[in-house]
Amino acid sequence: MAEERETVTRTRSQKASNQYEALQQMSDEDLMSQFQAGTVEAFNILVDRYSDRLMQYLYRFLGDMKRCEDLLQETFLRVHRNRHSYRRIAKFSTWLYTIAGNLARSEYRKRKRRRMQSIQSVNRDNEEYEMEIPDESFSPDRHAESTIQDSYIQDALEEIPPAFREVVVLRDIQQLAYDEIAEITGLPMGTVKSRINRGRTKLQNLLSEVYPFEEGTG
């Protein structure tokens, strides 16, 4: 009797292992279909696939590891909660990055508001007023590619406007296609390409002493 139970247990374990291996071979979209049908393991595989990439995206955008960990959890919580709103007409990665991107931009706006509230001065009448922080503007440059690979670039990323930073991270770190970036950010394709070029130019200027950029690269 004990041998029979052991055999049944081994059989179930092997079956579960085979099913998990089959899930691991599926596309993101198929995994979402499985998850929508109630297969929790499919969701776990998606989390494993994208956790590191999303964490890198969030960190490059915001530069705060602890807060990014919270946003990563919130991203997957929203995927779990809104799984039935996903439709296969969209790539899962695009849908996922849209969720993460919305959270990151919202976090940045909150930080900016807090920073503006804290940067206050006193005028001659001892009345408080908020100092405006002007946005930087940049012009495109013919240098097109920058290699995103270490802390020097993270420091530089934090010096450029978030509108440029986000699209450069999505393109050069996450290796997403232009049309995906346009869908994630809700921007026209021309704006996406322009911001990527301008962001790369600014990064190259900031990093010119660290990384040499060859003329005519692009």
Q: Which pLDDT score, from 0 to 100, does residue 148 have?
A: 45
Mean pLDDT for 170-176 is 88
Closest CA to 211 of 119, 161, 148: 148
CA distance 58 to 198: 20
Long-range contacts of 72-80 (CB under 8 A, 24+ apart): 72/100, 74/103, 75/99, 75/100, 75/103, 76/47, 76/51, 79/43, 79/46, 80/43
Q: Say yes or no: 98 and 53 in one domain.
A: yes
pLDDT digits over 182-207, tens only? 999 999 999 999 999 999 998 888 88
- CATH of residue 187's domain is 1.10.10.10
The confidence band for 10, taking pLDDT boundaries of 50, 70 and 90, is: low
Tokens of 61: 């955008």
* Shared domain check, 104 and 191: no
Domain tally, the chain: 2
Range of the domain at 52: 28-133
147 and 104 assigned to the same domain: no
**Over the stretch 96-151, which tens digit does the pLDDT of each residue have?**
999 999 999 888 888 666 544 433 333 444 443 333 323 333 323 333 333 344 56
Which residues, in sequence order, are bridge partners of residue 83? Answer: none
Quick one: DSSP state of residue 128? Answer: E
Q: Do 55 and 114 sit in the same domain of this protein?
A: yes
- Through-space distance between the first and last CA atoms of the chain, rounded to whole angstroms: 70
